[in-house]
Amino acid sequence: MKVRYLHTMVRVKDLDASMAFYQLLGLTETRRIENDKGRFTLVFLAPPGQEECPVELTYNWDGDDGLPSDSRHFGHLAYGVENIYDMCDSLMKAGVTINRPPRDGHMAFVRSPDNISVELLQIGESLPPAEPWASMPNTGHW
């Protein structure tokens, strides 16, 4: 089963200040997503020539008063997988809890033994909805 590193996500309280910091490190913006419905902005920054290894800055438009004291800066690791259903099935058989099942055939979340949130994303097009995933509820948080 192929796995591909995608990105690391961190939550930020001040998007402009955070971007300026990462730009001082030599990272440049490679992609931006503005989500009006979810009221957040995602900015991906990477070193030149390493665009495949970005850091994702997640900025919540309505603020995030818990930052920086609530340890929510670090969000998750993200990996692309060949078949999200096969990967989740393999993880479940090994005793891993699927915190957010891939109901949409595209995205799932699990946690490492150290409670690190890991996002799994289907490489390419989403798979058609399938059971048991389509009706599986969330477990815990991610």
Q: What is the pLDDT of residues 2-44, one digit of tens each?
A: 888 889 888 888 899 889 888 977 889 999 999 999 999 999 9
Q: What is the pLDDT of residue 102?
A: 97
The pLDDT value given to residue 142: 77
Residues with active-site annotation: 119
pLDDT at 96: 92
Please report, to the nearest 10 degrees, the dihedral formed by the alpha carbons of residues 36, 116, 74, 82 taken in order.
Answer: -50
Q: Is 101 helix (H, G, I), strand (E, B) or coil?
A: coil
Question: What's the predicted TM-score (pTM) here?
Answer: 0.71
Per-residue pLDDT tens for 33-92? 999 999 999 999 998 998 998 989 999 999 887 776 655 567 788 889 999 999 999 999
Classify burial at 46, counting beta carbons within 10 Å of its beta carbon; exposed 0-12, middle 13-18, buried 19 or more: buried
Count CB neighbours of 100 within 10 A. Answer: 19
